[in-house]
């Protein structure tokens, strides 16, 4: 017999659910003494209080994912108790009001004063509150929440993929977010169904009380020969007491369900939100105190109660107002610093220009404030980590400063003191980017995505789920700035590789291959030439992660030439497989453009006469080459292919440098860079449109 399914270690947590199931079966099938029934009723009431308090102190609904299952178990537990109590009421009820246990007796006498008419009215009111108000509202909210959660799933998945692709989050965090999105949809779907249990429980409570009353009358009058009035009083009190014992925990569970599904996303529990948002505005409290005090002046009103309550509210208002004034005073007070004597100007007064700089307006300061745990700081760390992993070297740190000359929501990104990008970002709002597949417009400020130039709209945060459901990619203010910074860093990667960064990279490599580094620099090649080779690669968006191959290739050809262009050409040939895979990730037949034969011959003749750099290319030929390449690139993109121009090796560097300015998306590769495992398919000829 295979016992592989049996848990390796049994403990209280794993046995909790089976014990509850056995308990419910025992209550339904076995006769339970009144003392045990009191214990089970007390346990049911305690469990409902625990569930309600847990729901009130839960910040994120997913922190209480087991709640739908708890609804089912607590509902079945109450029904099991109804079955057990009905059995005792009908069999032992003629012996007195305590025959069914002290709990039912207490609810039947102490709470309703032994008056079964009052008890019936109280029970009906509790049932109406539970069924008509709380349960119906919670069920409706759960239904709408489930619908919106399912509709918003595609948009949330796209937002996660966008953050992952831009380097703002890692693979592990992306998996965690996808899991949370799936769990959120499953939770609201389960809550939509589980709310039906609570509604059914409320209906069954009414039916069970009526059945117990009718059954008790019949049993008391027929089997125990009680008169009608005695049987009616005895069994009605017991039935109503039994109903109240079950209905009050049911009402608590219903309130817990409503509290869970009606929560709006926040970092505070329900009690903290209520105190913060209801009682922290002194003006409202003063007005309320005045109204309550005025009501206390009306003849016939309980003056002391109203005036006492008005005094308490006014005291709260005064306390909160004074606390705010003290906080404002502390912020305004600045230390009285005596101005120092005039000192001579020194080199300390010369501020060096930082490689990467980010200036923000005053509304964006909270995003970069370490004291307030600014989200943008974490995003920038993620951007630098992704850059280092993808490009191959550690970029310089981003120096952040506030600039009051900028617009309040504006930011500016600079490289060595020169602005390379700018934009605006609005904290508290979201940028809905249109990837081209949205189903409709949104209200907001229409702008252009600063990183990639896509149409976008700044929207209120309440429209997040609606925007994602309509196909927009929604990001917050810090993500907008971080994505823009990441795009500019990749574009200017060559400028970020300074001598200091290169030396740090070589020192890191020397820990693994010290002999390789010592052989190359400075014995065979100066550091400046090697830096130029790497910058040539980065200018054409070729990563330098494979430093071993780069160093070995440069070390092989450095004794023959010190020309950075020729060394770059040899390194590109060595990195050919990586270059092709970067452009064509999963294709073996490469759709490329080539030069028309006559144009190719003219260019080769120009190279032979003017050298590799190609400064002497004839102006008319240069104009023809630029226009023909632009037409071919446009046609290539219309066919859905990456714009790649395949040329002979002598022409590659000249054409790449010449075409880069007007066609930055065009990649120029040489025949020598193609690995033997790839085949080519010529889709366009540059020069065939004349």
Q: What CATH number does the domain containing 519 carry?
A: 1.10.8.540
The reply to whether 241 and 198 lie within a common domain is yes
β-pairing, 356-360 with 410-415?
antiparallel
The reply to whether 157 and 53 lie within a common domain is yes
The reply to whether 66 and 176 lie within a common domain is yes
- Tokens matching residue 583: 């452009």
Q: Is the pLDDT of residue 8 over 60?
A: no
The reply to whether 467 and 556 lie within a common domain is no
Q: What DSSP line would sit under 629-682, residue for residue?
A: HHHHHHHHHHTT---EEEE-HHHHHHHHHHHTTT-TT-EEEEGGGS-TT-EEEE
pLDDT of residue 4: 46
Return the exposure string of 222-254: e unless at least 16 CB atoms fall within 10 Å of the residue's CB, then b: eeeebeeeebbbbbbbbbbbbbbbbbbbbbbbb
Long-range contacts (CB closer than 8 Å, 24 or more residues apart) made by 383-386: 383/166, 383/167, 383/168, 383/482, 383/485, 383/486, 383/489, 385/167, 386/166, 386/167, 386/168, 386/486
Taking residues 93-120, report their average pLDDT: 64
Is residue 192, in this structure, part of any structural domain at all? yes
CATH number for the domain spanning 661: value is 3.40.50.12790
Q: pLDDT confidence of 335, banded at 50, 70, 90?
A: very low
Q: pLDDT confidence of 336, banded at 50, 70, 90?
A: very low
Q: pLDDT confidence of 237, banded at 50, 70, 90?
A: confident
Is residue 81, in this structure, part of any structural domain at all? yes
* Number of domains comprising the chain: 5
Is residue 334, in this structure, part of any structural domain at all? no
pLDDT top residue among 237 and 551 = 551
| DSSP 8-state class, residue 337 | P
pLDDT of residue 3: 47
The reply to whether 214 and 142 lie within a common domain is yes
Extended strands (E) in 406-454: 410-415, 418-424, 429-433, 445-448
Q: Give the integer Cα–Cα distance in Å for 331 and 325.
A: 10
Is residue 312, in this structure, part of any structural domain at all? no
Q: Give the integer Cα–Cα distance in Å for 551 and 562.
A: 14
Question: Among 241-250, 487-496, 580-589, which stretch is predicted with the lowest mean pLDDT?
Answer: 241-250
Q: Is the pLDDT of residue 528 over 50?
A: yes
Q: Give the integer Cα–Cα distance in Å for 441 and 432.
A: 10
The reply to whether 115 and 244 lie within a common domain is yes
The reply to whether 114 and 31 lie within a common domain is yes
The reply to whether 99 and 221 lie within a common domain is yes
Is residue 18, in this structure, part of any structural domain at all? no
Q: Quick one: what percent of the chain has pLDDT higher than 70?
A: 79
pLDDT of residue 613: 47
The last residue of one of the domains, among 459, 491, 523, is: 491
Q: What is the pLDDT of residues 560-577, one digit of tens each?
A: 989 999 999 999 999 999
**Which residues span the domain enclosing 189?**
26-264
Q: Is the pLDDT of residue 665 over 80?
A: yes
Q: Which of 277, 257, 289 is nearest to 54 (CA)?
A: 257
Is residue 291, in this structure, part of any structural domain at all? no
The reply to whether 362 and 396 lie within a common domain is yes
The reply to whether 157 and 60 lie within a common domain is yes
Is residue 6, in this structure, part of any structural domain at all? no
pTM of the full structure: 0.54
pLDDT of residue 232: 72
Taking residues 223-240, report their average pLDDT: 73
Q: Give the integer Cα–Cα distance in Å for 402 and 392.
A: 30
CATH number for the domain spanning 421: value is 3.40.30.60
Q: Is the pLDDT of residue 509 over 70?
A: yes
pLDDT of residue 48: 82
Taking residues 645-665, report their average pLDDT: 88
Which range among 314-323, 337-346, 404-413 has the greatest average pLDDT? Answer: 404-413
Q: What DSSP line would sit under 450-519, residue for residue?
A: TTT--EEEEEEGGGHHHHHHTT-EEEEHHHHHHHHHHHHHHHTHHHH--HHHHHHHHHHHHTT-HHHHHH
- No. of H helices and E strands in the chain? 24, 12
**Helices 547-557 and 564-574, packing angle to 10 deg:** 130
Which range among 43-47, 284-288, 347-351, 538-542 has the greatest average pLDDT? Answer: 538-542
The reply to whether 539 and 593 lie within a common domain is no
The last residue of one of the domains, among 458, 491, 524, is: 491
Q: pLDDT confidence of 96, banded at 50, 70, 90?
A: low
Question: Among 365-374, 433-442, 479-488, which stretch is predicted with the lowest mean pLDDT?
Answer: 365-374
The last residue of one of the domains, among 491, 513, 540, is: 491
Q: What DSSP line would sit under 186-209, residue for residue?
A: HHHHHHHHHHHHHHHHHHHHHHHH
- Tokens matching residue 528: 């400046």
Is residue 220, in this structure, part of any structural domain at all? yes
For the chain, give the mean pLDDT. Answer: 79
The reply to whether 204 and 275 lie within a common domain is no
């Amino acid at each position: 017999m295979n016992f592989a399914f049996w848990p390796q270690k049994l403990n209280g947590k794993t046995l909790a659910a089976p014990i509850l199931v056995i308990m419910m079966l025992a209550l339904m099938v076995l006769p339970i003494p009144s003392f045990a029934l009191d214990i089970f009723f007390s346990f049911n009431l305690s469990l409902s209080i625990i569930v309600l308090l847990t729901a009130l102190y839960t910040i994120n609904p997913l922190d209480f994912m087991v709640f739908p299952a708890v609804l089912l178990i607590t509902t079945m537990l109450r029904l099991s108790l109804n079955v057990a109590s009905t059995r005792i009421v009908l069999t032992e009820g003629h012996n007195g009001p305590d025959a069914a246990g002290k709990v039912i007796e207490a609810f039947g006498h102490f709470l309703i004063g032994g008056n079964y008419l009052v008890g019936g009215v109280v029970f009906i009111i509790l049932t109406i509150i539970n069924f008509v108000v709380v349960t119906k509202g919670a069920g409706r909210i759960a239904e709408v929440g489930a619908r919106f959660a399912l509709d918003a799933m595609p948009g949330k998945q796209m937002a996660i993929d966008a953050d992952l692709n831009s380097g703002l989050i890692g693979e592990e965090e992306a998996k965690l977010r996808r899991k949370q999105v799936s769990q959120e949809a499953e939770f609201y779907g389960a809550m939509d169904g589980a709310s039906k249990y609570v509604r059914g429980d409320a209906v069954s409570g009414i039916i069970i009380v009526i059945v117990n009353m009718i059954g008790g009358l019949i049993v008391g009058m027929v089997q125990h020969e009680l008169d009608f009035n005695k049987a009616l009083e005895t069994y009605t009190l017991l039935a109503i007491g039994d109903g109240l014992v079950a209905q009050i925990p049911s009402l608590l569970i219903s309130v817990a369900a409503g509290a869970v599904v009606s929560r709006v996303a926040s970092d505070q529990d329900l009690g903290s939100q209520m105190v913060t948002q209801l009682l922290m505005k002194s003006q409202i409290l003063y007005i309320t105190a005045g109204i309550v005090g005025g009501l206390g002046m009306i003849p016939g009103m309980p003056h002391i109660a109203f005036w006492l309550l008005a005094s308490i509210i006014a005291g709260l208002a005064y306390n909160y107002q004074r606390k705010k004034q003290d906080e404002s005073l502390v912020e305004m007070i600045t230390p009285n610093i005596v101005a120092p004597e005039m000192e001579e100007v020194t080199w300390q007064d010369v501020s060096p220009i930082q490689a990467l700089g980010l200036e923000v307006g005053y509304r964006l300061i909270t995003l970069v404030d370490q004291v307030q745990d600014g989200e943008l700081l974490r995003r920038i760390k993620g951007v630098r980590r992704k850059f280092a992993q993808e490009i191959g070297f550690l970029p310089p740190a981003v120096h952040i400063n506030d600039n009051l000359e900028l617009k309040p929501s504006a930011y500016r990104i600079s490289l060595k003191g020169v602005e390379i990008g700018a934009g605006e970002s609005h904290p508290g709002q979201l940028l809905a980017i249109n990837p081209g597949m949205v189903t409709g417009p949104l209200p907001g400020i229409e702008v252009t995505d600063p990183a990639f130039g896509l149409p976008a709209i700044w929207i209120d945060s309440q429209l997040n789920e609606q925007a994602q459901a309509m196909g927009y990619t929604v990001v917050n203010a810090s993500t907008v700035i971080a994505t823009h910074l990441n795009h500019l860093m990749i574009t200017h990667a060559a400028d970020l590789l300074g001598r200091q960064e290169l030396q740090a990279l070589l020192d890191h490599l020397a820990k693994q291959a010290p002999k390789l580094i010592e052989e190359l620099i400075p014995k065979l090649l100066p550091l400046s030439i090697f830096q130029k080779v790497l910058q040539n690669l980065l200018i054409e968006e070729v990563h330098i992660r494979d430093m071993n191959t780069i160093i070995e290739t440069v070390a092989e050809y450095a004794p023959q030439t010190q020309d950075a262009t020729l060394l770059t050409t040899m390194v590109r040939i060595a990195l050919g497989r990586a270059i092709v895979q970067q452009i064509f990730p999963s294709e073996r037949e490469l759709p490329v453009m080539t030069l028309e034969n006559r144009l190719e011959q003219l260019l080769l003749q120009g190279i032979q006469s003017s050298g590799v750099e190609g400064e002497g290319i004839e102006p008319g030929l240069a104009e023809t080459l630029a226009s023909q390449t632009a037409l071919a690139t446009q046609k290539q993109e219309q066919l859905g292919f990456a714009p790649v121009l395949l040329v002979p090796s002598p022409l590659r560097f000249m054409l790449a440098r010449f075409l880069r300015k007007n066609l930055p998306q065009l990649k120029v590769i040489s025949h020598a860079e193609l690995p033997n495992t790839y085949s080519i398919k010529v889709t366009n000829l540059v020069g065939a449109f004349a």
